[in-house]
Amino acid sequence: MKLDSELTLRILEKVGVYSNRFSIPEPKMLLTTKEVLDMPRKMTEGRRTSAYKYYGVSYLQHNLVFINVRKIPDEKILENTIVHELIHMRFPYLAHGKRFNKLVRQGLKGKSFLPYRKRSKTLGV
């Protein structure tokens, strides 16, 4: 796909809608490999120079998501990639697999998720 201001706006709108549904803070979006390389190395460590190989990459520690718009062939894959990366943000403890893919499908169908709350240890009295 070719990135222009209209597509950028559509992507940001979708990210806002899905972030709200998934109860996560809206991540900073990077839409070109140049934007990834312009970020401080510390923020994109691990998949800095290989990001161009993927449709999308989540940088969980810094609330960043890269969507490789140039590599994505159509709107359906674009939306799937956005949801896929935001599911990583919402469920950071989940690896790819059946459960992860199920959550992506549910997200695409409009499911909302409650905020993630870490379990705290309570002391028995």
Domain ranges of the chain: 5-108
Highest mean pLDDT among 27-31, 40-44, 45-49: 27-31
Q: Which pLDDT score is estimated for 51?
A: 74
Q: Which residues pair with 29 in a beta bridge?
A: 65
Distance of CA 7 to the CA centre of its chain: 17
Residue 58 near residue 74, CB atoms below 8 Å: no
**Tens of pLDDT along 48-81?**
777 778 999 999 999 999 999 999 999 999 999 9
Token pair for 57: 């990459």
21: nearest Cα among 108, 117, 102: 108
More confident of the two residues 20 and 47: 20
Token pair for 37: 């390389």
**Tens of pLDDT along 88-122?**
999 999 999 999 999 999 999 999 999 877 655 55
**What string of DSSP letters covers the chain?**
----HHHHHHHHHHHHHHHHHTT-PPPEEE-SHHHHHHS-HHHHTTSSSSGGGSSEEEEGGGTEEEE-GGG--SHHHHHHHHHHHHHHHH-TTPPSSHHHHHHHHHHHTT---PPP---------
Superfamily of domain 5-108: Metalloproteases ("zincins"), catalytic domain (3.30.2010.10)
